[in-house]
Amino acid sequence: MKKQLTPQTLLYPVPVVLVSCGGLAGPKNIVTLAWAGVVNSTPPMVGIGVRPSRYSHELISQTGEFVVNIPRADQLKAVEVCGSTSGRTSDKFAATGLTAVPAQKVKAPLIAECPVNLECRVQQVVKLPSHDLFLAEIVAVHADETVLDARGRIDPAKARPLAYCNGQYWQCAPLK
Amino acid sequence: MKKQLTPQTLLYPVPVVLVSCGGLAGPKNIVTLAWAGVVNSTPPMVGIGVRPSRYSHELISQTGEFVVNIPRADQLKAVEVCGSTSGRTSDKFAATGLTAVPAQKVKAPLIAECPVNLECRVQQVVKLPSHDLFLAEIVAVHADETVLDARGRIDPAKARPLAYCNGQYWQCAPLK
């Protein structure tokens, strides 16, 4: 028996990512996002929805670049810190102990501790009612050897990613 | 130790959904998509990336409406059928045994067997190099009572959704 619910952002699972932005030497920030997805295959592109009030929105708008860092489930504490404080008033790298390291093609830093990092360059910004949607090309990809299988693909049992649904954190696992 | 990989659509997890489109009585189709995500909170909006060559692209462009149906992991067979055949030459409802039932606010049919259905109305189409990104408001939501917890939220242990990463199907589970 189906129930009708209030229209809400109920799509699941959606990814839980730490987006780093700014520059390695200058102002930089990390923001936790779940409004993220793949939008195009050739070239590979992602879209991320960011509220205009966010400090990261300001940094990404200035630089046109960001990095999507994909955490493991055991990094949930850092995910929660980066999702509940503002980079305007606190240094989230210091607050979480995460390490900013140089990217290859963009000025925004990679987060060393996250097993996968996608360097992204903004191509287009679509203004939506509550969020701006940054559409960006993935220009470089880094993956830790410890999360890859023998064929060089991400192994979910090793990468152990988080997923988000309707206010709850979930985890992903191999399909049995 | 990090390895650098070819730029690719490596964001994970991304949702696995069956998008139904067309009309209940006339031409209708189901397409499996993983290029889907939440793009806006207020009002709730999703974005889906669809290749212009797809039959579903034609139907969604004509009607400006679609339904995002979220399958359970045990519906993987139907997901594979709807992702590997074209609705131009086969009736995917007949091929999968899935049932088209009336939606509340859009003409596109709901898939009865999927535990969650999001009725969507297109607001904007963004042309990207290989895909068109349909940005749509979620105007009605249906959820089967069997996948809700006591507080009326989706229970991952009951909804058992699929997730997609880099060519592989994964599953989601509660965070331990």
Question: In this predicted complex, what is the ipTM?
Answer: 0.96
Write out pLDDT tens, residues A33-77. 999 999 999 999 999 999 999 999 999 999 999 999 999 999 999
Topology (CATH) of A14-171? Pnp Oxidase; Chain A (2.30.110)
Write out pLDDT tens, residues B121-157. 999 999 999 999 999 999 999 999 999 999 989 999 9
pLDDT at res. A105:
98
- Once rounded to an integer, what is the mean pLDDT over residues B103-122? 98
Q: Shortest CB distance from B7 goes to which of A7, A138, A170?
A: A138
Q: What are the residue boundaries of the structural domains of chain A, listed by start? A: 14-171
CB B102 within 8 A of CB B117: no
| CB-based contact B14 A14, cutoff 8 Å | yes
H helix or E strand, kind and range, residue B137: strand B132-144
Write out pLDDT tens, residues A112-159. 999 999 999 999 999 999 999 999 999 999 999 999 999 989 999 999
Structure tokens at B153: 């939220």
Global pTM?
0.97
Q: Which of A16, A19, A39 to mutate to test the interface with B (most CBs of B within 10 A)?
A: A39
- Angstroms from A108 CA to nearest CA on chain B: 17
CB B136 within 8 A of CB B121: yes
Q: Shortest CB distance from A13 goes to which of B15, B104, B140?
A: B15
Is residue B13 scored above 90 in pLDDT?
yes
Q: Which amino acid is at B135?
A: L
- Once rounded to an integer, what is the mean pLDDT over residues B85-98? 94
